[in-house]
Copies of this chain bind each other. A is one copy, B any other.
Amino acid sequence: MPAPRATTLRDVAEAAGVSIKTVSNVVNDHPHVRPEMRERVLAVIERLDYRPQAIGRQLRHGRTGMLALAVPQMDMPYFAELACNLVAAARSRGLTVLVEQTDGLAEREREVAAGFPVRIVDGLVFSPLNLPDAELAQRRDRTPVVLVGEHGRDTGIDRVSNDSVEIGRLATAHLLDCGRRRIGMIGTKLRSPHLVATDRHAGYRRALDDAGVPADPALLSPTDGWGREEGERSTDLLLEQAPDVDAVFAPNDVMALGALRSLRRHGRRVPDDVAVVGVDDIAEASYAAPTLSTVAIDRAFIAETALDLLIRRIGGDDSPPRTAIAPHRLVVRESTCG
């Protein structure tokens, strides 16, 4: 037995003894439908549990009312929370979000940038990680896109970013305020240039320079990845390179959590021996032991702004590309100045 076919306008029309268009008119609250007719049709709609099928409308209108969100991984707290915000924001605008995971692989990101092999969505919110900007700039797909994050700076694509240099400076300045002088930074990326790390490192460097504190290459610890484990290993390495380190700046919170674990394993007390600060303010940050000082980035702003930009483009706006910068603020918890 085949799957039961969904009720269509035609079914309702037949059952009510009117034309398909009349039913459509009732459904869409068109004027010029007599109240009694409306009643009759609505009764049949109720009886047959008719629900308009998006697909017909979409076909007619050329829009699907759906957006794609493409992020490296849904289970990274930052992206999970961003997705949460975006879904909520989209909902309030009557849009639906569909999720794609790239695993940060350039190949997958290329697919996403090139457009889905079949067209499904009206727009794309994309957080690329390893796709070269040049490829982004040259994409031929005409689906409107908004980039989220540091990448894609000069691609001529709308973008919602954050001021990573200032974030790095702020975090490091806070550590300096706490009286630290041997401040390490983990997660400075080794291979492909990772802009988030690069920029936050630039800010770190600026804070040191502003304070007249000498920079020391031994205080930098690179990694490839961007998760808890990499944070832990990167901190292991840092402790080896610079045993006298008294503070760690991690370019995101999960790495900072990894750092906490590494420090704990090495018997360093936080913040007494080593202070730690991260970036993102994920929920976990305020439940770590010790609770994690961090630079919070306004994710709701990112979600709302990305949607606004995207909706403009979907509406056919072809004004010059815009870049919005999400606000951030320092959140001091136990892991610094405890």
Residues on A lying within 8 angstroms of B by beta carbon are 1-6, 49, 51-59, 62, 64, 66, 73-75, 77, 80-81, 83-84, 87-88, 91, 96-101, 115-120, 140-142, 144, 228, 232, 257-258, 260-261, 264, 283-284, 287-289, 291, 313-316, 318
Contact = CB atoms under 8 A, between A and B. Distances in A.
A38 to B, nearest CB: 18
B96 A83 contact: no
Contact of A59 (B59, B74, B87): B59
Given A75-B283, A289-B261, A118 B52 contact: yes
Contact of A314 (B3, B84, B287): B3
Given A260-B289, A287-B257, A99 B83 contact: yes
Q: List 6 tightest A-B contacts by C-beta distance, closest first.
A: A80-B80, A289-B289, A75-B84, A54-B118, A3-B316, A74-B84
Nearest to A76: B80
Contacts of A291: 261
Nearest to A91: B101
16 contacts: A1-B318, A4-B142, A6-B119, A6-B142, A51-B119, A52-B117, A55-B59, A55-B64, A56-B59, A66-B120, A74-B84, A80-B80, A83-B99, A84-B101, A88-B101, A257-B287
Given A66-B98, A284-B284, A289-B289, A74 B51 contact: no
A257 B285 CA distance: 11
Contact of A54 (B2, B81, B119): B119
A284 B253 CA distance: 12
Contacts of A284: 257, 284
Candidate in A52, A66, A75, A77 with the most chain B CB atoms within 10 angstroms: A75
Contacts of A258: 287
A99 B101 contact: no
Contacts of A140: 49
Contacts of A288: 288-289
A86 to B, nearest CB: 9
A29 to B, nearest CB: 14
A261 B334 CA distance: 12
A335 to B, nearest CB: 11
Contacts of A1: 316, 318
Given A3-B316, A54-B118, A257-B287, 7 more contacts: A3-B144, A66-B120, A74-B74, A75-B80, A75-B283, A84-B101, A261-B287
